[in-house]
Structure 1
Amino acid sequence: MRLNRLFWKIFLAVWLTSLSVIIVTVIVIGEVAERNSARRMNEYRATEMAQIIIERLEAGAVYNPDAMEDKPAVDFGVPPPPPNFFDDRDRPVNGKRNRAPLPLLIYNDKGNLVYGRENKQVFANSLKFSITADTGKYRVIVPSGKVSNSVNRLLGLLFSFQSVFILIGSLVASLLLSFVVVRPVNRLRRHVQQFHNGDHLMQIEPALLGRGDEIGELAREFDVMAGYVERMLQGQQRLFEDVSHELRAPLARLQAASGLAEQKLGTDDKIVNRMNMECERLSRLIDEMLSLARLDHIDARQGTFDVVEQIRSEIDDVSFSQPDRPVKLLIANKGDSKSHWVGLGNGELFSRALGNVVGNILKHTEPDCRVDIEVSIPKAHRIRVVITDYGTGVPEDTLSSLFEPFYRQNQRTKGYGLGLSIAKRAAERLGGYILAENVEGKGLSVTIEVPSR
């Protein structure tokens, strides 16, 4: 399960938003409601208690405020409140009310304290009202009731049925949003992958193109871009083919003229030798350009090929052309059967990719420079071939340009910069990839990965 998926981001966004609303509701609205409830409860109790105390005072009872406690335990016989007036915490427990009498302050009309004990800390946030009796008007002060802890209320709500309901609601909302947003995005992503893998003629589903929202606009823009890229690639391919064919005719005439000059001037003439060398170089350039152009005409996904056998054949060619070159083949998982090394696709493409990479190494390293070719299975249905030389490597800032057509890192060497671009195109046509990196203590390492059976 990947938490960076869009579905989980939507789920967490919905759930955290709901949780934030709950917290704000409990802390703000719940606090206000609790304070109002406590104030109403204290007002009712205080009114009943004050009336009883004033009646007794008027009947001749005398109270000594200095002898009273902060919370007197005298039960004045306050009648119970109406049903459902208070919450469950104020209901009788074992036949007795679960609260102590309120520490009231009662002043007569002259401002003298006739009941209670003053305590500024206790009565800082107080409720004030007046009661009119036969002997005059009394002013009553009562503290606000205690408000329950917001954290406790919040914890109680988080572990309640409401939280489970919100969690399920967030999951359903995330699924709906994923169905509306993520599903078409994934379908469009599959089309992008097909286009990247070389299927430039793929068609986007009409359902995606017909959408009236932003996803539909994105699909239509991608369809236009894909058509433009396909036209550009076709134009580039036609250009390679046309230029190559147009160069064949003058090249043939140059070779004929060089042959005539050789008959008249002799084989040792410097001008004749120069003309022959330039004709050979031009012929190789035309062959490479045609090879690059023809890659897109090869049926890439049909057939199979033996990766190890093709590597061994390439090593035999190297041993013949450069006998002093040490080339070592390393096969991981030697106990695996031959079926593990069967690649999917046209074997000619893999041969082009492998041959051009090895040829590039032979061209840019010393004749006695060691080359290692390692074959492994990195994961199911994939074969990886790593070709590493023990040369000087290449500058890090040029690694990304090695596979560009006509790019040459060393301008003094022979070649036209098409070998690695042909290798890259061949690997991509097979549904694989190719990359280059410098290896510490060795030289340049080129990795080719292709699909297997």
Structure 2
Amino acid sequence: MMILRRLNPTRAIVGRLFLWFWATFIVTALLAIWGSRLFFEDLQVVEIKPMELKNLQAVAQRLTRERFIRFPLEDALRRNSRGIRGRLIAVNVSTGTVISYNGPPLRENEKRDLLRLVNQQAPIGIKRGALKLIGPVFFEKQNQQYALFSAKLDMSEKQTPPVLLFLCIALITTVLLSWLFARSLTKPLLQIQSSAKRLAEGEWQTRVNIGSKRHDELGQLARDFNVMAAQLENMWGAQKRLLADVSHELRSPLTRLQMALGLAYQQNVDINTLERVEREAERMEALISQLLTLSRAEAGSANIKACSLSQILDDVFKDANFEAATCSKQLQIETVPQKTVLADGIMLCRAVENVLRNAIRHSRLLTKVSFGEDEATWFIRIVDDGEGLSLDECKRIFSPFYRASLARERTSGGVGLGLSIAKAAVELHHGRIDAVPISGSGLQVTLIFPKELSSAP
């Protein structure tokens, strides 16, 4: 049983290709033969019209006249065929030689039909397919007896020329079977492509459902894709758990370190050293806080409720104005729309705050904040006039711990988690965040949210 399954050609794409094309040609040939049999009917006796017989007898009489005796029989037939709607054919009764003037050669079955009719005493009409034969009418030439026939195409109005019939059958059959074959291959490929796209967008539960139904290379590809997706989901979950666990575990020693610093201050230990240790402890505290925020955002635990957009962002913009003034920079903020949104206020504030502080930090002088909406989304756009980033860096700045300029971030105290938190917070609201460089200099970051999460006040 296992050997038969392995020899099954449908388990491989090569075998499926062979079988489909082979089946296409076989079915086409069978349909063509069936159609030809319908078209080329068996030999049948048909009625002779009086005018047809009269014309044929008149030609036989003219062939015996003296003026046509000296002509070769082929020329005589050609000269007398002008009044006949068809072709004149003469058969030597003694030798069975078939004589006709220039034209398409007669097929073997048509010659056999003529030889059978030579022995008929009275003219009859027969038809095989589209060819109609009328005769014989006998005449003598140079002491040889001949049987005269007329042959013409007699097409029924409902019939179609054979070439067109075969062409239609071939086109319809090959198009239908080839389409089915192409669909059987492209449908699973499109499913895998769609699943790969969703997986790349962070939908870790994405799986391809065709793996258990197919046993060829495409089925194996789908199963391998599912294994890869499961491993990526496990790795991503492990990473989030690791960040959360490490952040929690570091809190305890950090607390003890801060208590030890307090005791050291009381014991008059070197102040410069203590201040250095305290700065590093504060930096570690900020890092742990950001890691916990990122873990909560990526875990998808949101407290969604109706709140005013202007009230949510009021404190964020006040702090941003103070920070910009401290750095001798300008911050221009459009009037916040008076609308109510369904959002996690804390995570939305964190997203806008991280992007805005990043823009102020790297701007030369001016940072702008604007709002907008279209039919499906509303958005917050933050633009700075700093050095800007490349397209490749714009795609990578939202990755955890990525810093476009290591020296610049060290000077500012950043660790590369702010924009990652912003991205996770926006995706928590089923939105997206985009960064694009501005022509000349600067960076534009847009936080986009679906309108399904917003409502008019």
TM surpasses 0.5:
yes
| Structure-2 change in CA distance of 1:227 and 1:31 (3 Å) | closer
Give the deviation of 1:393 after TM superposition: 0.9
Partner in structure 1 of residue 131 of structure 2:
none
1:391 to 386, 404, 423: 386
Q: Which residue of 2 aligns with 1:401?
A: 396
CA contact (8 A) 1:433 1:449 kept: yes
2:367 alignment partner in structure 1: 371
Aligned to 1:247: 250
* From 230, 235, 238, the counterpart of 1:235: 238
Aligned partners of 1:393, 1:72: CA distance in 2, in Å? 92
2:324·2:331 contact (CA, 8 Å) conserved in 1? no
Q: Secondary structure at the match of 1:353?
A: helix
Task: Rate the CA distance shift 1:211–1:346 in 2: closer, same or farther, 3 A.
Answer: same
Q: Take 2:317 and 2:235, find their aligned partners in 1: how far apart are those partners?
A: 37
Instruction: State the one-letter code of the partner of 1:401.
Output: R
Residue 354 of structure 2 aligns to which amino acid in structure 1?
A: N
The amino acid across from 1:434 in the alignment is I
Shift of 1:385: 1.8
Distance 2:306 2:153 in 1: 85
Q: Which amino acid aligns with 1:346?
A: D
Instruction: State the SS of the aligned residue for 2:341.
Output: strand
Q: Secondary structure at the match of 1:415?
A: coil
The residue number in structure 2 matching 1:125 is 105
Q: Which residue of 1 aligns with 2:426?
A: 427
* 1:328–1:38 distance in 2 versus 1, CA, 3 Å: farther
Give 3-state SS (helix, strand or coil) of 2:369's partner: strand
The 5-angstrom pairing of residues 6-405 of structure 1 reads 52=57, 56=61, 63=68, 72-74=81-83, 100-104=85-89, 118=101, 122-126=102-106, 128=111, 129-130=114-115, 131=118, 136=144, 138=146, 145=153, 229=232, 231-263=234-266, 269-296=271-298, 299-300=301-302, 302-323=304-325, 324-330=328-334, 338-339=338-339, 342-366=340-364, 368=365, 370-380=366-376, 382-405=377-400
Structure 2 gaps of 5+ residues are: 1-20, 120-137
Whole-Å Cα distance in 2 between the matches of residues 39 and 326 of structure 1?
A: 101
1:418 to partner: Cα distance: 0.9
Shift in Å, 1:239: 2.0
Closer, same or farther: CA 330–146 of 1 in aligned 2, 3 Å? farther
The one-letter amino acid of 2:243's match is: F
Stretches of structure 1 lacking an aligned partner (at least 5 in a row): 1-16, 76-99
| C-alpha distance after superposition, 1:285-329 (max 9, x if no partner) | 111112112225664263134345444542221111221332223
CA–CA distance in structure 2, aligned partners of residues 68 and 136 of structure 1: 16
- How far off its partner does 1:431 sit? 0.9
Aligned-pair distance for 1:363?
Answer: 2.9
Q: How far did residue 398 of structure 1 move?
A: 2.1
Provide the rounded CA distance (Å) in 1 between the counterparts of 2:38 and 2:226: 60
Counterparts of 2:268 and 2:53, CA distance in 1: 135
User: C-alpha separation between the residues in 1 aligned to 2:434 and 2:62?
Assistant: 99
Q: Give the drift of 1:233.
A: 4.0
Q: Percent identity?
A: 25
RMSD value, Cα? 5.7
SS of 2:394's equivalent?
helix
Partners of 2:211 and 2:77 in 1: how far apart?
84
Q: Single out whichever of 270-279 and 100-109 deviates more from structure 2.
A: 100-109
Q: For the Cα contact (< 8 Å) 1:427–1:433, is it kept in 2?
A: yes
The residue identity in structure 1 corresponding to 2:317 is I
What whole-Å deviation, never above 9, does each CA across 1:247-290 have from its counterpart, x for those lacking one? 223323333443444455578x4323322221221121111112
**Deviation readout 1:84-137 (Å, 9 max, x if unpaired):** xxxxxxxxxxxxxxxx24344667879999x98x4xxx4143465554668645
State the one-letter code of the partner of 1:345. A
Partner deviation per Cα, 1:136-189 (whole Å, 9 max, x = no partner): 4548797774999869957x989xxxx9xx9xxx8xx99xx99xx89xx79x98
- Give the TM-score normalised by structure 1: 0.60
TM-score (normalizing by structure 2): 0.60
With 50-59 and 288-297 compared, the bigger mean Cα shift is at: 50-59
Q: Please give the alpha-carbon distance, in whole angstroms, between the structure 2 residues aligned to 1:375 and 1:151.
A: 71
Mapped partners of 1:236, 1:110: distance in 2: 100
Query: Contact between 1:198 and 1:429, CA under 8 Å: does it hold in 2?
Result: no
* Alpha-carbon offset, residue 417 of structure 1: 0.9
Distance 1:445 1:107, change over 3 A: same
Inter-partner Cα distance in structure 2 for 1:226 and 1:351: 33
TM-aligned CA distance change 1:41 to 1:306, over 3 Å: farther
Quickly say closer, same or farther: Cα 1:233–1:74, change in 2 above 3 A: closer
In structure 2, the partner of 1:8 is none
Please report how far the alpha carbon of residue 415 of structure 1 lies from its aligned counterpart in structure 2 after TM superposition.
Answer: 1.4
Displacement of 1:54: 8.7
Q: Secondary structure at the match of 1:322?
A: helix
**1:280 & 1:253 partners in 2: Cα distance?**
13
Residues 67 and 431 of structure 1: CA distance in aligned 2, closer, same or farther (over 3 Å): same
Q: Deviations over 1:349-407 (max 9, x none)?
A: 211211111122233334x2x22222222323x21222221111113322222111111
Q: Partner of 1:276: helix, strand, or coil?
A: helix
Alignment-mate amino acid for residue 287 of structure 1: S
